[in-house]
């Protein structure tokens, strides 16, 4: 979708004239024609871009920037005032309810809480609209500057970047609004009785067992996702008495590994049983004294155990001594044992964990390799960890190793030339990876058979998120920051080049408690009887181009037409069964293969035959001749096989009418893409290998052996008859049995090797049973043919 069309279909009606006039700026980039248009040359060349044209365009651009900046500032101040007013109203109503419970006074009516909830919902919608307004206008300025530099060859981007920094309408952080609104909305939703509990919500626990699903969220949808969640779960605030500070939400982690073997990276990527990740984590800035030493251990489902995260706290000044073995475990927990706040059993468990981590770091020569930094917004009921949702924004991965001849961390456990100063502009590009999306983690502790809440299912199935199961910050950062050392890539690597934004499939998102007048992708069709301030009551009379009011009306008409076209497309998509994120990329490809089972290729290709052929062509000589012969043979074999399939008698699918003639439309499965790894790299696809897989492989091999033994017994019995026909038949059955034994042995060894290496290959046998049946049929046919042929000619019969 072009940005101009996106802007028209996503803007808000009441704020229409405050948006960037993108069309006017595009028109301002066009100079007059050098010659008059004719029938032969309807679009002649335009005049060269001059300094006067540049001055005129910059003046127009400055006016648009001032308009957007002023409106955003005024609207933001208005939201602050509305939040303060709502806070006073909520406090009064809640205090009245408390006095009524204690002194027996008249309690506030349910209507009072309903009105407060509607007012807060309206403010939430305003925050959502302002965030969308900011995002659209910032994108508009970036697009028009890029178009200007491309068309005019005058470089305005560096100069205008300074103007944007002077009027940074796009840098407002809405997290403070979200935290305040979350607290107020929770008070109103619970009618003044919010759930009490430990705000750390499990922070004091040492072991965590949760069912976690991860999603990517595009920056355009981050604020909307936060606002949706806060209407169901409050923002988790660890210190409610302290004013909100963005630094309090910062989380940094240092991951350790062996830079020679990368064993921890490989184990976590392949999800091998018992694979570990060792990291050191702290919350807030670099001056934090408490550091958490954590170990994450992966457990396979068949073991009956759950993957677990265990951790203990240590003072920052003691980290280097502990990791090097200079400080013993007893010294680390000496003060904890002296304080007596934990039981002896808890301290013993922590000491055992610390000994194991210290032993692994020293013996395996683990060093810091990757740092992850992000700001986390957590949503959870205090003291209730059954449903916990976290959204990590500004995710950044940074190198911590001392490779390539650079002392990044040196002998320290972390590098000290950076803190929490995102976006870490002081670092060279090869040392930092700024992740383009936010990461949403939905952590549930549900009982067996229990479904998650309905609103969570709607959120995770909406267009706002993209499911990426098993995504890991450690794995992604390590693979991207070490391209020369890591050859095995995670399966989501190709998705980084795909835009994860999806069209709106159904009405889901932030809505006002009353009829909304928004022109947005999530709004319903605007009523044809809209009042004089609406879009659809504009007269269709011809307009004068020189009248500014008429130009504005023309803009409104264009927006209306774009909106109607967008709504019509949404209705067609919904009728055709488009379901947003109902399937992730793995499931969509699986669904496509189910619809077309003949297309039996792996989802991810680690090598390309076309690339190999082109490489052989460049080399020339014998390698090219051999590659060309192999390619020609493959093409010929495919052509022959397709021809045999076409003429062979077999059940055929009924041809379907064209899509536009079908009743109710067609059911779509989403985008399918065949991913290919870079040359020299391999993409690891997660494959679950359980003990029953090996047992099934053995049972299949034994079944083949049993069948082969039966054939051998038949052959031995036929030999005892002593005549020529029996001997020929025995030879036929023996050949079939020997071929079956050899084939089954080779297949068994191949399957064992692939399962041991956890390779994502096609394990089912498409041709073996069929070929065996054909060979057995041929042997029986030869036996019957010789026997009945001999009967007809009198062979083998006396007198």
Q: Which of 8, 75, 271, 473 is catalytic?
A: 473
Nearest to 60 by CA among 13, 24, 34: 24
Which residues neighbour 5 within 8 Å (Cβ) at sequence distance 6 or greater?
562
CB 678 within 8 A of CB 496: no
Distance CA 350, CA 471 (A): 28
Residue 524 tokens read as 């319903």
**Nearest residue to 683 (alpha-carbon basis) of 486, 423, 416, 540:** 486
Long-range pairs for 360-366: beta carbons < 8 A, 24 or more residues apart: 360/276, 360/278, 361/256, 361/278, 361/323, 362/323, 362/324, 362/325, 364/258, 364/263, 365/258, 365/260, 366/256, 366/257, 366/258, 366/264, 366/278
The secondary structure of 719-755 as a DSSP string is HTT-SHHHHHHHHHHHHHHHHHHHHHHHHHHHHHHHH
Tokens for 294, please give them.
Answer: 């954590």
Residues 75 and 95: their CA atoms lie apart, in Å, by 30
Give the three-class secondary structure for 780. Answer: helix
What are the Cα distances from residue 584, in Å, to 386, 469, 500? Answer: 24, 9, 11
Q: Between helices 110-152 and 175-189, what is the axis angle to 10°?
A: 160
Using an 8 Å Cβ cutoff, are 215 and 442 in contact?
A: yes
Q: Give the orientation angle of helix 724-757 with respect to helix 691-719, to 10 degrees.
A: 170
Burial of 640 (C-beta count, 10 Å sphere; 0-12/13-18/19+) = exposed
Chain-centroid distance, C-alpha 209: 22
Note whether 393 and 175 are within 8 A (CB).
Answer: no
CA distances from 669 to 25, 491, 577, 583, 641 (A): 39, 20, 9, 8, 29
Q: What is the CA radius of gyration of the chain?
A: 34
Kindly tell me the burial class for residue 466, based on how many C-beta atoms sit within 10 Å of its own C-beta (0-12, 13-18, 19 or more): buried
Residue 473 catalytic? yes
- For 665, other C-beta atoms within 10 Å of its C-beta total 15
Residue 730's Cβ-side half-sphere holds a number of Cα atoms within 13 Å equal to 14
Tokens of 771: 């070929």
Residues with a known catalytic role: 473
């Amino acid at each position: 979708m072009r940005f101009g069309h996106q802007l028209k279909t996503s803007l808000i009606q009441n704020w229409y004239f405050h948006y960037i006039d993108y069309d006017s700026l595009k028109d301002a980039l066009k100079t007059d024609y050098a010659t008059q248009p004719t029938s032969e040359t309807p679009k002649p060349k335009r005049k060269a871009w001059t300094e006067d044209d540049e001055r005129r365009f910059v003046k127009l651009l400055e006016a648009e920037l001032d308009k957007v900046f002023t409106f955003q500032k005024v609207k933001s101040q208005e939201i602050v005032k509305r939040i303060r007013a709502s806070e006073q109203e909520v406090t009064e109503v809640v205090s009245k309810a408390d006095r009524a419970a204690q002194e027996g006074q008249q309690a506030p009516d349910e209507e009072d809480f309903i009105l407060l909830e509607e007012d807060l919902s309206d403010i939430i919608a305003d925050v959502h609209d302002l965030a969308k307004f900011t995002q659209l206008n910032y994108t508009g300025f970036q697009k028009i500057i890029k178009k200007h530099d491309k068309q005019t060859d005058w470089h305005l981007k560096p100069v205008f970047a300074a103007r944007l920094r002077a009027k940074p309408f796009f840098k407002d952080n809405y997290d403070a609004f979200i935290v305040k609104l979350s607290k107020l909305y929770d008070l109103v939703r619970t009618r003044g009785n919010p759930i009490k509990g430990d705000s750390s919500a499990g922070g004091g626990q040492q072991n965590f067992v949760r069912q976690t699903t991860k999603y990517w969220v595009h920056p355009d949808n981050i604020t909307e996702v936060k606002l949706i969640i806060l209407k169901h779960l409050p923002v988790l605030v660890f210190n409610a008495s302290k004013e909100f500070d963005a630094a309090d939400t910062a989380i940094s982690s240092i991951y350790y590994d062996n830079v020679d073997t990368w064993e921890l990276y490989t184990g976590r990527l392949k999800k091998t049983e018992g694979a570990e990740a060792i990291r050191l984590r702290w919350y807030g800035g670099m001056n934090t004294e408490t550091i958490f030493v954590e170990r994450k251990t992966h457990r396979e489902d068949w073991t009956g155990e759950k993957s677990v995260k265990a951790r203990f706290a240590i003072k920052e000044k003691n980290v280097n001594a502990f990791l090097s073995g200079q400080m013993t475990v007893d010294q680390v927990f000496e003060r904890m044992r002296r304080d007596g706040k934990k039981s002896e059993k808890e301290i013993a468990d922590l000491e055992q964990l610390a000994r194991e981590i210290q032993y692994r770091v020293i013996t395996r020569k683990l060093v810091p390799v990757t740092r992850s930094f992000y700001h986390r917004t957590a949503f959870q009921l205090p003291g209730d960890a059954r449903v916990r949702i976290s959204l990590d924004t500004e995710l950044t991965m940074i190198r911590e190793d001392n490779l390539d001849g650079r002392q990044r961390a040196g002998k320290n456990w972390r590098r000290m030339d950076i803190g929490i100063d995102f976006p870490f502009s002081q670092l060279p590009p090869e040392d930092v990876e700024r992740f383009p999306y936010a990461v949403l983690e939905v952590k549930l502790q549900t009982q067996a058979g229990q479904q998650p809440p309905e609103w969570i299912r709607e959120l995770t199935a909406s267009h706002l998120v993209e499911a990426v199961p098993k995504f890991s910050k450690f794995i992604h950062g390590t693979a991207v920051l070490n391209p020369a050392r890591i050859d095995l890539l995670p399966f989501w690597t190709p998705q980084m080049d795909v835009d994860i934004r999806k069209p709106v499939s159904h009405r889901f998102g932030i809505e006002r408690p009353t009829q909304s007048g928004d022109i947005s992708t999530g709004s319903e069709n605007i009523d044809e009887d809209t009042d004089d301030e609406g879009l659809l009551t504009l007269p269709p009379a011809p307009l004068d181009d020189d009248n500014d009011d008429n130009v504005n009306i023309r803009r409104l008409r264009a927006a209306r037409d774009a909106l109607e076209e967008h709504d019509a497309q949404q209705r067609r998509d919904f009728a055709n069964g488009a379901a947003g994120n109902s399937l992730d990329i793995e499931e969509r490809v699986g669904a496509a293969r189910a619809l077309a089972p003949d297309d039996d290729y792996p989802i991810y290709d680690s090598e390309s035959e076309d690339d190999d052929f082109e490489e052989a062509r460049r080399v020339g000589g014998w390698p090219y001749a051999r590659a060309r012969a192999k390619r020609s043979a493959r093409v010929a074999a495919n052509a022959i096989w397709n021809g045999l399939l076409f003429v062979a008698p077999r059940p055929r699918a009924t041809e379907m009418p064209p899509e536009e003639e079908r009743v109710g439309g067609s059911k779509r499965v989403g985008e399918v893409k065949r991913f290919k790894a870079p040359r020299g790299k391999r993409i690891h696809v997660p494959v679950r290998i359980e003990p029953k897989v090996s047992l099934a492989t053995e049972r299949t091999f034994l079944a083949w052996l049993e069948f082969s033994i039966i054939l051998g017994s038949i052959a031995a019995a036929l030999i005892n008859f002593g005549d020529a026909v029996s001997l020929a038949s025995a030879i036929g059955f023996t050949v079939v049995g020997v071929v079956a034994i050899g084939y089954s042995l080779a297949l068994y060894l191949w399957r064992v090797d692939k399962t041991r290496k956890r390779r994502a290959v096609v394990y089912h046998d498409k041709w073996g049973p069929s070929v065996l049946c054909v060979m057995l049929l041929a042997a029986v046919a030869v036996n019957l043919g010789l026997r009945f042929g001999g009967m007809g000619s009198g062979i083998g019969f006396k007198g």
